[in-house]
């Protein structure tokens, strides 16, 4: 995350942007379902409060539920009933999960990803706070990439898409250098699987 923040700070200075537009606490809280205080601490180089996976899952589901109720003006019973019908669980259980009182099953957690339209799959709920915030910051960085010149875009329609993510990919690769060996093994296996899939599709 420090490198992502460094890149955003450089982007703010270079493009003369308002820091509050890119690093707005309320906006980041909405993107990540993290408390604003936790986000503030992380942006200032601090550490998040210690928690378990179960605790962060329950807290983020409650944050999403509370935000949904505030935004729509619905009652908890309405939200629980909607989740009950869509995901095939009891309204009582859905209400307890939305209130942060119960840990959802893996199947229900998967359903909540679709229900609340969150990015990142189940990792949205399970990732440690620094990872969750870094994912949101990378998304913001990608949105502020400079547009390619019209001539380049006209000659190669894929150039705009490629250029948009080059800098963000560079950030991710620089962060990957600090991964422990076991994480490198997972990353390497994932990349090999993707390359094999690409080769097999190219042969068809």
Whether residue 2 has pLDDT greater than 80: yes
Report the pLDDT value the prediction gives residue 53, as an integer from 0 to 100: 95
DSSP string computed for 133-191: HHHHHHHHHHHTPPPPPHHHHHH-TTHHHHHHHHHHHHHHHHHHTT--HHHHHHHHHHH
Give this prediction's pTM: 0.67
**pLDDT tens, residue by residue, 73-107:** 999 999 999 999 999 999 999 999 999 999 999 99
Ordered by start, the domain boundaries in the chain are 2-46+127-203, 53-126
What is the CATH T-level fold of the domain 53-126, as seen in this structure?
434 Repressor (Amino-terminal Domain) (1.10.260)
| Residue 115 or 200, more confident | 115
Report the pLDDT value the prediction gives residue 180, as an integer from 0 to 100: 63
% the chain with pLDDT above 70: 71
Q: Of the given ranges (10-24, 37-51, 184-198), which has the lowest mean pLDDT?
A: 184-198
**pLDDT tens, residue by residue, 172-195:** 555 555 556 666 666 666 666 666
């Amino acid at each position: 995350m420090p490198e992502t923040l460094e890149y955003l700070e450089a982007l703010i200075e270079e493009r003369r942007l308002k820091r509050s537009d890119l690093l707005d606490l309320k906006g980041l809280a909405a993107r990540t379902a993290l408390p604003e205080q936790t986000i503030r601490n992380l942006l200032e180089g601090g550490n998040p409060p210690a928690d378990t996976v179960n605790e962060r899952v329950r807290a983020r589901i409650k944050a999403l539920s509370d935000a949904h109720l505030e935004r729509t003006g619905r009652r908890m019973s309405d939200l629980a009933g909607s989740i009950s019908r869509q995901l095939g669980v009891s309204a009582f259980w859905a209400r307890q999960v939305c209130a942060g009182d119960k840990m959802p099953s893996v199947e229900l957690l998967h359903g909540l990803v679709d229900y609340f339209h969150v990015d990142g799959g189940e990792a949205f709920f399970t990732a440690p706070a620094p990872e969750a915030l870094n994912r949101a910051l990378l998304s913001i960085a990608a949105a502020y990439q400079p547009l390619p010149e019209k001539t380049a875009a006209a000659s190669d329609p894929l150039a705009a898409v490629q250029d948009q993510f080059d800098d963000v990919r560079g950030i991710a690769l620089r962060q990957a250098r600090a991964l422990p060996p076991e994480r490198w093994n997972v990353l390497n296996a994932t990349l090999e699987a993707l390359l094999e899939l690409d080769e097999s599709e190219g042969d068809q």
